[in-house]
Structure 1
Amino acid sequence: MSTSLPLSDAERASLDENGYVTLPGILTPDEARAVRERVMELAEAERAADPDCVYLDGKSQRVWNLVNKDEIFERLVQHPRTLGAHEGLLGDDCTLSSFTANVIGPGSPEGGIHMDSPLTALPTPLPQYALVANTVWLLDDFTEENGATYCVPGSHLLGRLPTADDKPKLVQVTGSAGSATIIHGSIWHGSASNRTDRHRVGLLGFFCRAVLKPQQNHMALATPDMLARATPVMRRLLGYSSQPGERA
């Protein structure tokens, strides 16, 4: 049984109205610093092995499949506060779509306003209830200068993708390291440009309803060591509770 904690009424009201809500102090400064250091170690090693694993003019990088790369990420993906928010949005049986690190380097340009997959492949109008949702874990202070995530408040209620003709009001969602921002998957959002001389590092915990296909095949990627440690909640998040039947 999950020990997750639901959002407060005020937090849920903000999420429903705006499409996002920031939860401060989910990690202590020391915890955020330790996770950031581990992410940067992984990013450096993967960049050395594959120099093409970068994007946004080669100045930013994603690190995929975090749940198999350190026990610290296994704990984070099951954090009671963030998982409770996703269960409230997506159902108690929601699963993990992907868990990645996003390293936005100095001079990185804007990522562009978009809506997350698989919503881009679905017919419109999209439902106003969430099919997918994200947790953005802030491992640095997110500021206007270092590229804090842009969101368009209320856009999750429009039921459609952004177009070139849209001129929406953009709000940068700033916050302190250790915070976590819960984002409704239908909101229009994107990374801003990093105008500082330091990387801005965050984690993206992407969740989906159990009936949807995740971005990554966690059951194929899961290592034996990770599975041996996996809690019932973790196994559910990996997809073991939402597979099709095999009755002949």
Structure 2
Amino acid sequence: MDAMNPAASEAAHFRYLMAIRGWVRFPALIAPGLLGALREELDECYATWRAIQLRNGVAEATDGTLHHLAGRGGAVDRFLAGLPLHDEITGFLGGGPYVLNACGAYLNRPDTSAYVGRIHRDVRGFSAPYVLMINMLVMLDDFTEENGASWMLSGSHHHPDRPPDEVFLAHAERNTGRAGDVVLFDSHLWHCAGVNRSAAPRRALTIGYTRPFVKPQMDYTRMGPEPRDEALRQLLGFNARVPDSLDAYYQPPERRSYRADQG
């Protein structure tokens, strides 16, 4: 590594660990005040999200989950607007702009289970070595083995097939850490949430970022007003919208809904 350039050395270290292990944890990136606001927002939102899950008959598989929290103007949007690890995400996704693919949370409540407790990866297809997506996990509580810290199978992002349960459990590592830590991982990586055997929820944000031409899981541009913050506009896909008419298509570059730098 380049001892004369600490930033270059850190970037090289990140690239190496992502290539070999497929995940990297960054300690103490989130300020206590924002952590508290994020926890409070998730707790307030859960009753509303849960009512929708129950109403639509998907309660069993989604217990403790909240999907598509962005665009509401609260603590989650404040976190996204001041996004940590922007340079690392940009470099991993090829050096250009990126957009939000999904922004959710998992409460991992004691003695409950959801689909995130099954061995899975967060992209259905396998495009390696070309990467389309990177995941971010934001620890809002301490992650311990007792309260269900995630299992991460290092190196499995190079393999298209789901590992057998016995192989996964024999070789996966526990993703333990402190509230405020942030983990980036290759979306091809096989992983799962652990079982929470404590007395309190273990909360985390679960976020995915993609190259702009990848279709997001939710059309954030139609969910709420267009944000004034330019970083949030980019992240929510306002610079990568598909035009809906010929009039919208035939526009000068600066007024196009899909900007030229979006890939």
Quote the residue 2:231 is aligned against: 233
- Residue 203 (str. 1) matches residue 205 (str. 2): yes
Which of residues 112, 137, 154 in structure 1 aligns to 2:118? 112
Q: Is the 8 A contact 1:54 1:62 kept in 2?
A: no
Q: Is the 8 A contact 2:135 2:184 kept in 1?
A: yes
- Give the alignment of 1:34-53 within 5 angstroms: 34-48=37-51, 51=54
Q: Is the 8 A contact 1:82 1:180 kept in 2?
A: no
Read off the aligned partner of 1:230 and give its amino acid letter. R
Per-residue deviation at 1:80? 4.2
Q: Report the count of equivalent residues.
A: 234
- Residue 162 (str. 1) matches residue 155 (str. 2): no
Q: Is the 8 A contact 1:61 1:104 kept in 2?
A: yes
Quote the residue 2:260 is aligned against: none
Name structure 1 gaps, 5 residues minimum. none
- Give a deviation string over 1:72-110, Cα, whole Å, max 9, x none: 211212334233222111142111001111111111247
Per-residue deviation at 1:53? 7.7
Give the 3-state SS of the residue equivalent to 1:219 in structure 2: helix
Q: What is the distance in 2 between the residues matched to 1:71 and 1:83?
A: 20
Moved more, 17-26 or 47-56: 47-56
Read off the aligned partner of 1:149 and give its amino acid letter. S
Q: Is the 8 A contact 1:105 1:198 kept in 2?
A: yes
- Residue 30 (str. 1) matches residue 33 (str. 2): yes
Read off the aligned partner of 2:192 and give its amino acid letter. G
Which of residues 92, 96, 109 in structure 1 aligns to 2:96? 92
Quote the residue 1:186 is aligned against: 188
Per-residue deviation at 1:15? 2.2
Output the aligned Cα RMSD.
2.7
Moved more, 185-194 or 86-95: 86-95
Structure ID, larger Rg: 2
Per-residue deviation at 1:116? 1.1
Which of residues 21, 27, 40 in structure 2 aligns to 1:18? 21
TM-score normalised by the chain length of structure 2: 0.79
Read off the aligned partner of 1:243 and give its amino acid letter. R
Read off the aligned partner of 1:204 and give its amino acid letter. T
Q: Is the 8 A contact 2:41 2:75 kept in 1?
A: no
Q: Is the 8 A contact 1:115 1:161 kept in 2?
A: no
- Give a deviation string over 1:129-155, Cα, whole Å, max 9, x none: 421111101000011111111111011
Per-residue deviation at 1:238? 1.6
Per-residue deviation at 1:37? 1.5
Read off the aligned partner of 2:167 and give its amino acid letter. K
Per-residue deviation at 1:59? 8.1
Q: What is the distance in 1 between the residues matched to 2:214 and 2:156?
A: 22
Quote the residue 2:139 is aligned against: 138
Which of residues 66, 69, 80 in structure 2 aligns to 1:66? 69
Q: What is the distance in 2 between the residues matched to 1:32 and 1:111?
A: 24
Quote the residue 1:102 is aligned against: 106
Per-residue deviation at 1:24? 0.9
Quote the residue 2:174 is aligned against: 172
Q: What is the distance in 2 between the residues matched to 1:59 and 1:211?
A: 28
CA 1:59 to 1:204, structure 2 compared with 1: closer, same or farther past 3 Å? Answer: closer
Q: What is the distance in 2 between the residues matched to 1:36 and 1:149?
A: 19
TM-score normalised by the chain length of structure 1: 0.83
CA 1:26 to 1:165, structure 2 compared with 1: closer, same or farther past 3 Å? Answer: closer
CA 1:63 to 1:69, structure 2 compared with 1: closer, same or farther past 3 Å? Answer: farther
Q: Percent identity?
A: 25
Per-residue deviation at 1:173? 0.7
